[in-house]
């Protein structure tokens, strides 16, 4: 089945017109952390820090996903917008509802995005209308993983075991989620060390553990297939444990600024050997565009540089593009398939067009290719993304 699908996705050269001089192909963007269920709040409700924001805006919104029609409307719009902005692979958080999480999976198959999808698990410290019994959460997570694996209809869809974060999960739940991920050899996604009050809360809730990372570690949740979103306030011990277990980090700079969470020092994590990708983290982040995430990563890095005495090299546009492409592929364990245009990889690509009619960019004709790429990253938007290909299949064609 997988081979048949791959054959049918094959890139059709006859359909391609010759690129004009203001066009180039760019590897597809990889969004390593995005809440599809929060897409309807995108651009709203950014006046509170994380824990208050969760209580006041986010949990009530996620509770609406019991309604499959609501889920279909928002998930459909989210996938369309993400693809139009050049995201060929996304790792999504859904909600605690298995059925509506499967709605996202079916829509993604239909629209052709490469996706990693998690049904959220939560059995404590949530609203009484948005919480699961421990046993139900374990069973529903396992069933969701089986649902996706047994469909076997599409090699582009992957299940993710998804505890929301330590404060909203009991140790019994976390340990069972670790077991499920191991049994089925699948990915794990959760949040970690995003704000100081959250870290303090974890200390109070899990007094027998060394630190935040130790909670995930003892539950078997630190693996080479684990993505931790944020990781701003990790201690040296925690960072070295992350390195040892080959756990990955998703850096979400828009969200970290919008929710007043803090600044993540990605250079430091990378210097210790941690693989870091970029996430839009909608709707803590207000934009689903990875171009926005790239710009924010440069801004955050410049702010970090301004507070150092020297010896710190801030990110440039090439660093940001790397985070959004090949590093994202490494985070998700698919760098043998996507992330750049090495021979033998799948064709996940954007046909970028910088013609003056198409957006915010003025080109004067003497720019080098590198300068064109740089203008795209700093000034481009979805109007500059003319076509999007996933595994050789054209999933978006605008003009």
Ligand X SMILES: O=c1[nH]c(=O)c2nc[nH]c2[nH]1
Based on the shown chain and the rule CB under 6 A, indicate whether residue 58 belongs to the binding site for ligand X: yes
Q: How far is the CB of 264 from ligand X (least distance, A)?
A: 12
Note if the bond before 300 is cis, omega within 30 degrees: no
Of the candidates 194, 265, 330, 382, which one interacts with ligand X according to CB under 6 A? 194
Residue 222 or 373 with smaller CB distance to ligand X: 222
Adjacent-strand bridge partners of 120? 162
Q: Is the CA virtual torsion 189, 194, 198, 202 positive or negative? A: positive
Bridging pattern class, strands 114-121 and 157-163: parallel
Q: How far is the CB of 229 from ligand X (least distance, A)?
A: 7
Alpha carbons 208 and 297: distance in angstroms, whole number: 35
Based on the shown chain and the rule CB under 6 A, indicate whether residue 119 belongs to the binding site for ligand X: no
Site for ligand X in 283-302 (CB under 6 A): 284
Question: For residues 223 and 188, is the Cβ–Cβ distance under 8 A?
Answer: yes
Based on the shown chain and the rule CB under 6 A, indicate whether residue 281 belongs to the binding site for ligand X: yes
Site string for ligand X, 236-255 (x = CB under 6 A): -------------------x
Residue 279 or 339 with smaller CB distance to ligand X: 279
Q: How many residues does the chain have?
A: 399
Q: How far is the CB of 192 from ligand X (least distance, A)?
A: 9
Residue 140 or 281 with smaller CB distance to ligand X: 281
Of the candidates 26, 30, 32, 35, which one interacts with ligand X according to CB under 6 A? 35
Query: Nearest Cα to 40, choosing from 73, 66, 67, 63?
Result: 73
Specify the stretch interacting with ligand X by CB under 6 A; choose among 50-58, 73-81, 121-129, 286-294.
50-58
Residue 323 or 358 with smaller CB distance to ligand X: 323
Residue nearest to ligand X (CB): 284
Residue 369's H or E segment, with its range, is helix 369-379
3-state secondary structure 10-70: CCCHHHCCCCCCCEEEEECEEEEEEEHHHHHHCCCCCCCCHHHHHHHHHHHHHHHHHCHHH
Based on the shown chain and the rule CB under 6 A, indicate whether residue 165 belongs to the binding site for ligand X: yes
Residue 169 or 358 with smaller CB distance to ligand X: 169
Site size with ligand X, rule: CB under 6 A:
11
Residue 50 or 78 with smaller CB distance to ligand X: 50
> What are the angstrom distances between the C-alpha of 310 and each of 232, 302, 304?
21, 12, 11
Q: How far is the CB of 201 from ligand X (least distance, A)?
A: 11
Bridging pattern class, strands 187-192 and 226-230: parallel
Bridging pattern class, strands 385-390 and 349-353: antiparallel
Query: Nearest Cα to 142, choosing from 94, 88, 95, 178?
Result: 178
Site for ligand X in 343-382 (CB under 6 A): none
Of the candidates 191, 267, 295, 394, which one interacts with ligand X according to CB under 6 A? 191
Q: Which residues bind ligand X (CB under 6 A)?
A: 35, 50, 54, 58, 164-165, 191, 194, 255, 281, 284
């Amino acid at each position: 089945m997988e081979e048949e699908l791959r054959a049918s996705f094959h890139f059709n050269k006859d359909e391609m017109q010759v690129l004009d001089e203001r066009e180039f192909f760019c590897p597809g963007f990889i969004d390593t952390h995005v809440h599809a269920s929060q897409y309807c709040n995108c651009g709203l409700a950014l006046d509170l820090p994380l824990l208050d924001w969760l209580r006041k805006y986010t949990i009530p919104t996620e509770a609406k996903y019991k309604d499959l029609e609501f889920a279909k409307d928002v998930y459909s719009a989210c996938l369309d917008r993400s693809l139009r902005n050049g995201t060929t692979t996304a790792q999504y958080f859904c909600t605690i509802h298995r059925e509506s999480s499967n709605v996202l999976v079916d829509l993604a198959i239909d629209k052709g995005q490469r996706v990693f999808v998690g049904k959220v698990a939560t059995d404590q410290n949530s609203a009484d209308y948005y919480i699961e019994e421990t046993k139900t959460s374990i069973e529903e997570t396992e069933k969701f993983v089986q649902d996706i694996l047994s469909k076997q209809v599409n090699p582009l869809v992957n299940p993710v075991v998804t505890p929301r974060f330590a404060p909203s999960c009991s140790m019994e739940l976390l340990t069972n989620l670790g077991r499920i991920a191991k049994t089925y050899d699948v990915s794990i996604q959760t949040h970690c060390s995003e704000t100081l009050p959250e870290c303090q809360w974890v200390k109070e809730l899990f007094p027998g553990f060394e630190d935040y990372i130790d909670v995930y570690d003892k539950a078997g949740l630190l693996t080479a297939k684990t993505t931790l979103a944020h990781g701003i306030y990790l201690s040296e011990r925690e960072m070295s444990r992350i390195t040892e277990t080959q756990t990955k980090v998703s850096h979400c700079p828009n969200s970290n600024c919008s929710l007043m969470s803090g600044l993540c020092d990605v250079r430091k994590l990378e210097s210790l050997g941690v693989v870091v990708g970029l996430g839009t983290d909608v709707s803590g982040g207000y934009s689903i565009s990875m171009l926005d995430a790239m710009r924010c990563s440069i801004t955050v890095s410049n702010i970090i540089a301004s507070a150092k005495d020297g010896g710190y090299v801030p990110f440039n546009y090439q660093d940001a593009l790397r985070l959004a492409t090949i590093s994202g592929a490494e985070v998700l364990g698919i760098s043998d398939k996507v992330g750049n245009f090495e021979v033998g990889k799948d064709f996940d690509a954007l046909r970028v067009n910088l013609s003056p009619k198409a957006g915010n960019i003025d080109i004067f004709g003497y720019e080098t290719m590198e300068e064109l790429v740089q203008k795209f990253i700093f000034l481009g938007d979805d109007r500059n993304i003319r076509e999007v290909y996933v595994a050789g299949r054209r999933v978006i064609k605008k003009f």
